Amino acid sequence: MNLTVDLNADLGEGAGHDDELFELISSANIATGFHAGDADTMHAAVSIAKAHGVAVGAHPSFFDRENFGRKELEIPDQEVFDAVAYQLGIFQAIASALDVQPNHVKPHGALYNMAVRDDRLADAIARAIASVDPKLILFAPDNSQLARAGEAHGLQLAREIFADRNYLNDGWLVPRTRPDALLGDPKEGAQRVLRMLREGKVQSVEGRDVDVRGETICVHGDTPGAVEFARELRMQLEHEGVRITAPQSSL
Give me the pLDDT at residue 221, please: 85
Distance CA 155, CA 84 (A): 15
CATH superfamily, region 3-244: Glycoside hydrolase/deacetylase (3.20.20.370)
Give me the pLDDT at residue 35, please: 97
What share of the chain in percent tops pLDDT 90? Answer: 90
Distance CA 211, CA 50 (A): 35
pLDDT averaged over every residue in the chain: 95
Give me the pLDDT at residue 33, please: 97
| 144 burial type by CB count under 10 A (0-12 exposed, 13-18 middle, 19+ buried) | buried
What share of the chain in percent tops pLDDT 70? Answer: 99
Distance CA 94, CA 141 (A): 28
Domain boundaries, the chain: 3-244
- Work out the pLDDT band at 251, boundaries 50, 70, 90: confident
Distance CA 107, CA 84 (A): 9
Q: What is the pLDDT of residues 51-70, one digit of tens each?
A: 999 999 999 999 999 999 99
Q: At 71, which helix (H) or strand (E)?
A: none
Q: Strands (DSSP E) along 27-186, which ranges?
A: 27-31, 55-59, 104-105, 137-140, 157-162
